[in-house]
Amino acid sequence: MNQEEITMEEETQAQTEPPEDWEKKLEKPVPKILVEKLNFFYGSTQALKDISVGIKENQVTAFIGPSGCGKSTFLRCLNRMNDLIPGTKVSGKIYFDGTDIYTRDIDLSELRRKVGMVFQKSNPFPKSIFENVSYGLRIQGITDKTILEDTVEKTLRDAALWDEVKDKLDQSAMRLSGGQQQRVCIARALAVQPEVLLMDEPASALDPISTAKIEELIADLKKNYTIVIVTHNMQQAARISDYTGFFFLGDLVEFDETSNIFTNPKDKKTEDYVTGRFG
Amino acid sequence: MRFRINLLSSFFTGLTLLATLIIFAILFVIIGNVVLHGHKIISWEFITKAPREGMTAGGIFPAIFGTMALVILMIIAVLPVGVMTAIYLHEYAKPESVLTRTIRFAVNNLAGVPSIVFGLFGLGFFIQFIGAGMDKFFGLEVIWGQPCLLWAALTLALLNLPVVVVAAEEALRAVPKETREASLALGATKWQTIRRIILPQALPGVLTGAILSISRGAGEVAPIMFTGAAYFLPYLPHKPTDQFMDLGYHVYVMATQSPDVEATKPILYGTVLVLLILTLLLNFIAIFIRSKVRRQMRQSV
Amino acid sequence: MENSKTIEKKQQAESIIFKRRFHLSEFIIEKIIFLSSFLAILGVVLIFAFIFKEALPVLTSLEVKKEVSLKLFFSTTIWQPVSDFPRYGLIPLIVGTFKVVIVALFFSIPLSVGAAIYTSEFAPVRLKEFIKPIVEILAGIPSVVLGFFALMVMASFFHGIFHSTMRLNAFNAGVALSFAIIPVIYSLAEDSLNSVPRSLKEASLALGANPWQTAFRVSLSVAMPGVLAGIILGLGRAVGETMIVLMASGNASMLSANIFDSVRTMSATIAAELGEVVQGSAHYNVLFFIGASLFVFTLIINSLAHLVVGRLQRKLAGKV
């Protein structure tokens, strides 16, 4: 027992201990992602103010709010994509499965594999559809053709694109329509088997039919994944999410079950926004 | 009044057109003259045989061979270093740091240094310092400490470093940042992203820089005059410590030091024509690739 | 209490997938990239160091200074390093360089600036895409070919017109040199004129100015820093150019005001004499000294051009 304790001690040195009472703070089950007092600055401008929220596992959580209020910034904090922007500062903690992702010892590649992202504007690589979807696996060193082919098929099916492209997997992904490209990006993100999928306005650049397909997809995906969406389309949030958070000027004004936010909001600002008085 | 203003304006506009046409004419005359006097001598024999009878007969194959050997060595030296410098500047360096600005300063100034100064450097540093030092270290006779392919190629590599760096950086800059983000968001490391996504997309631009540098390397004479080029060698260079013949150097010596100008004139013009075709062809290819890439980028935006 | 804490730690340990792994290949590659970008700096430093090292004796070594020194450079007007009584008068070389460069600038500036104005202000769109590549072709002609052309064709041509005493002279070399500089000035000038915002040109035309007035009074004046930078760079290139002058100027280190006399420029001197000089001799040091001067000159030129272009950029951004 002592030996185990010692090795365990060494292994846990990298990880910061979450607050002792975090499990008491929120109702069980423990949230997949726990954000505590997150502040974010672009240079001297503060984009996020003291955000605290828990993202539940296997649920769809949506964040709404007028544009420029920090929703996308918040999303990008969750997989540390904001690190790519020079001059930004972060304070506060974000726990993924109990580990603070902003500690120095984090392996960023691993984090981003577990917390996947689909961007607002689809960004397929100028390569074939097959190469796009299998990219995430190949960078992990997986070269087994069978595994790659099976994963590509599975994720393209999940993204509701398989039937449309199964005969042209070798074609360049750039030749697909906008909606198809976005679904390739979704399949590509799913291929690495993330536990959380972050989606930044996933259907904003798409036509209504593609949008409907993607919303269907999201509803389907939550069985196996935790989904966090940012959208400026309130109706979309109302349709597909289980929990909704309202961002306004960098503050998380309200966070609750979706039905409550839209039918019985507690904050006046929330009410004004969801009833269309501004936005 | 209005009429006079407009008349004068038309006149000046016409002058600018004239300037443009004069430049065209200059180009036309130079190339035309070379083609006119040189095309007669161009033949398979000219390109594949060595010169005979004091450069009045035969071909210039050794000069072609030497130029190619020189340029190949140069590219091997300059391309990796130039591309890596561009990668560092664009992907890794902090934009305003002292180091970044120093590197850019160095690259920019390297571009303006006169080619004869490179020749001086090649002589003073590569041959007399490094080369002689190597000979002393290995206890050799004069092997490395003399003009040869290696030092001439390295001198040219230094001369062309800015060309490659600038072209490579422009190519890297053209890769959209969304593609980079997509790769990183999937868990790829920085280098994986560079290797698999960014470099392949930047390849045409890098190629343009490489081809332009080859064209310059083939045409420059001052840097190689004292670092390895020779007017007549009875052998072809087969190791880096050999001297070599070179098209540009050949033109220079033949034009200025030939005892019988009339007799060597055909070969001289032929050599110039070959050199011109070589450099202009390379330039064309580079410009073609560059314009194709720019058109592609405009389409995908 | 002890047990549950251990179990909790164990659970947390199992969920650790985040401990940073050390990617060896990534580390090595990054280091290589970092190091190779140093080579550019190293190159400039080394050039600086070595050329100055060999040039320094002219300023510092007593022995060398007996034969040649800064003072001696300017106390005689004869450049004759190879003789029983070697003399290193720099003045004929400097004047020679100056003559050739002046001729080159005289011809190249109006032609290249004029063509740049035509290309960016008046040329129909289809012609525009055609003109720039043609000038780039001119840029692609090696200087040894230009020197060859000046030697074989232009010299006799000008001789027939001007009947100068010397067939190879500063004028001949200067004109050939202008061919080499035209693309340099043209590309910077044209780029600058192009970057003048369309709205400015439209405003001028809307006020009733005709295209020339717009081009001259608006575009050119806004783009002037860029045009100027192009001229500065052209100047730098002209001073440093070797092969053209080596082949077309006559290579005689004589001092005169006549542009139809043969000249010897600084760069051509190095090229002409480096082959026969004894390593380590005073003559050798002098050649390196001249090279060092050329190097410093181009450094200054480059910085100047940069400053001027920076001014253009700030002007367009509204900060000047």
Q: In A, which residues are within 8 Å of B178 by CB distance?
A: 119, 121, 123
Cα–Cα dist A183/A134, whole Å: 14
Rounded to two decimals, the ipTM of the complex is 0.90
Cα–Cα dist A55/A197, whole Å: 12
The pLDDT, as a whole number, for residue B34 is: 93
* Residue B134, C-beta contacts closer than 8 angstroms, at least 6 positions apart: B140, B143, B144, B145
HEC states along chain C? CHHHHHHHHHHHHHCCCCECCCCHHHHHHHHHHHHHHHHHHHHHHHHHHHHHHHHCHHHHCHHHHHHCCHHHHHHCCCEECCCCCCEECCHHHHHHHHHHHHHHHHHHHHHHHHHHHHHHHHCCHHHHHHHHHHHHHHHHCCHHHHHHHHHHHHHHHHHHHHCCCCCCCHHHHHHHHHHHHHHHHHHHHHHHHHCCCHHHHHHHHHCCCCHHHHHHHHHHHHHHHHHHHHHHHHHHHHHHCCHHHHHHCECCCCCCCCCCCCECCHHHHHHHHCCCCCCCCHHHHHHHHHHHHHHHHHHHHHHHHHHHHHHHHHHHCCCC
**Could you tell me which residues are beta bridge partners of residue A39?**
A91
Q: Do C299 and B5 touch (CB under 8 A)?
A: no
Q: In C, which residues are within 8 Å of B112 by CB distance?
A: 233, 236-237, 240, 298-299, 301-302
Q: Please check whether residue B225 is in contact with residue B45, taking contact to mean a CB–CB distance below 8 angstroms.
A: no
List of chain B residues with pLDDT < 50: 301
Q: Do C16 and A105 touch (CB under 8 A)?
A: no
Q: Please check whether residue B238 is in contact with residue B55, taking contact to mean a CB–CB distance below 8 angstroms.
A: no
The pLDDT, as a whole number, for residue B292 is: 82
Q: In A, which residues are within 8 Å of B196 by CB distance?
A: 135, 139
Q: What average pLDDT does range A133-151 have in this prediction?
A: 91
CB pairs under 8 A between A and B: 61
* Residue A130, C-beta contacts closer than 8 angstroms, at least 6 positions apart: A148, A152, A169, A170
pLDDT at A67 over 50: yes
Taking all residues of chain B, what is their mean pLDDT, rounded to a whole number? Answer: 88
The residue that leads in pLDDT, C199 or B85, is B85
Q: What average pLDDT does range A85-96 have in this prediction?
A: 88
Comparing A26-30, B192-196, C100-104, C205-209, the range with the smallest average pLDDT is A26-30
pLDDT at A16 over 70: no
Per the listing, tokens 């070959």 go with B274
pLDDT digits (tens, 9 = 90+) for C303-318: 888 888 887 777 777 7
pLDDT at C10 over 50: no
Cα–Cα dist B201/B167, whole Å: 13
Site from C21, C37, C45, C306 to mutate, B interface, most B CB atoms within 10 angstroms? C37
The residue that leads in pLDDT, B41 or A54, is A54
Cα–Cα dist A242/A263, whole Å: 14
Which amino acid is present at B126?
F
The pLDDT, as a whole number, for residue B129 is: 87
Residue A27 pLDDT class (50, 70, 90 cuts) = low
Q: Which pair of structure tokens corresponds to residue A29? A: 């089950």
The pLDDT, as a whole number, for residue A3 is: 43
Neighbours of chain A (3+ CB pairs under 8 A): B, C
Site from C14, C19, C23, C26 to mutate, A interface, most A CB atoms within 10 angstroms? C19
Q: DSSP E strands: which ranges in A142-204?
A: 196-200
Q: What average pLDDT does range C92-106 have in this prediction?
A: 93
* Residue B121, C-beta contacts closer than 8 angstroms, at least 6 positions apart: B155, B158, C46, C47, C50, C51
Nearest to C20 among A4, A107, A114 (CB): A107
Q: Which pair of structure tokens corresponds to residue A139? A: 């960078």
Residue A20 pLDDT class (50, 70, 90 cuts) = low
The pLDDT, as a whole number, for residue A146 is: 93
Taking all residues of chain A, what is their mean pLDDT, rounded to a whole number? Answer: 84
Q: In B, which residues are within 8 Å of A119 by CB distance?
A: 178, 181-182, 185
Q: What average pLDDT does range C199-213 have in this prediction?
A: 83
Residue A2 pLDDT class (50, 70, 90 cuts) = very low
Neighbours of chain C (3+ CB pairs under 8 A): A, B
The pLDDT, as a whole number, for residue B20 is: 94
Q: Please check whether residue B138 is in contact with residue B197, taking contact to mean a CB–CB distance below 8 angstroms.
A: no
Residue A4 pLDDT class (50, 70, 90 cuts) = very low
Q: Which pair of structure tokens corresponds to residue A37? A: 């007092």
pLDDT at C255 over 70: yes
Q: What average pLDDT does range C83-112 have in this prediction?
A: 89
Q: Which pair of structure tokens corresponds to residue A197? A: 């999928």
CA distances from C95 to B169, B245, C73, C77, C247 (A): 40, 34, 13, 10, 18
Residue C22 pLDDT class (50, 70, 90 cuts) = low
From A107's Cα to the closest Cα of chain C, the distance in A is 4
The pLDDT, as a whole number, for residue C117 is: 93
Residue B141, phi-psi category: left (phi > 0), alpha (psi -120 to 50), beta (remainder): beta
pLDDT digits (tens, 9 = 90+) for A102-135: 887 788 888 898 999 998 888 899 889 999 999 9
What's the predicted TM-score (pTM) here?
Answer: 0.83
pLDDT at C269 over 70: yes
Cα–Cα dist C218/C120, whole Å: 13
The pLDDT, as a whole number, for residue B249 is: 94
Q: Do B26 and C236 touch (CB under 8 A)?
A: no
pLDDT digits (tens, 9 = 90+) for A156-203: 988 888 999 989 999 988 889 888 898 899 999 999 999 999 999 887
pLDDT at C11 over 50: no
CB pairs under 8 A between B and C: 250
Q: In A, which residues are within 8 Å of C13 by CB distance?
A: 8, 11-12
pLDDT at C239 over 90: yes
The pLDDT, as a whole number, for residue A203 is: 79
Q: Do C16 and A11 touch (CB under 8 A)?
A: yes
The pLDDT, as a whole number, for residue C185 is: 95
From C245's Cα to the closest Cα of chain A, the distance in A is 50
Please tell me which residue of chain B has the smallest CA distance to C25: B191
Q: What average pLDDT does range C105-118 have in this prediction?
A: 95
Site from B116, B123, B287 to mutate, C interface, most C CB atoms within 10 angstroms? B116
* CA C144 from centroid of its chain's CA atoms: 17
Residue A18 pLDDT class (50, 70, 90 cuts) = low
Q: In A, which residues are within 8 Å of B95 by CB distance?
A: 86
Q: Please check whether residue A194 is in contact with residue A115, taking contact to mean a CB–CB distance below 8 angstroms.
A: yes
pLDDT digits (tens, 9 = 90+) for B159-200: 999 999 999 998 998 898 889 999 999 989 888 999 999 999
Comparing B86-95, C75-84, C98-107, C281-290, the range with the smallest average pLDDT is C75-84
pLDDT digits (tens, 9 = 90+) for C25-41: 788 888 888 888 887 78
| Share of residues in chain A with pLDDT > 70 (%) | 89
Of B278, B240, B273, nearest in space to B39 by CA = B273
Cα–Cα dist A96/A194, whole Å: 12
The pLDDT, as a whole number, for residue C8 is: 47
Residue A25 pLDDT class (50, 70, 90 cuts) = low
pLDDT at A17 over 60: no
Centre a 10 Å sphere on the Cβ of residue C139 and count the other Cβ atoms it contains: 15
Q: What average pLDDT does range A272-278 have in this prediction?
A: 82
pLDDT digits (tens, 9 = 90+) for A213-269: 888 888 888 888 999 999 988 888 888 999 999 998 888 989 999 988 888 888 888
Q: What average pLDDT does range A35-50 have in this prediction?
A: 90
Which amino acid is present at A270?
T
Residue A29 pLDDT class (50, 70, 90 cuts) = low
Counting Cα atoms < 13 Å in the Cβ hemisphere of B274 gives: 29
Taking all residues of chain C, what is their mean pLDDT, rounded to a whole number? Answer: 85
pLDDT digits (tens, 9 = 90+) for B218-244: 999 999 999 988 888 888 888 888 899
Nearest to C18 among A1, A9, A107 (CB): A107
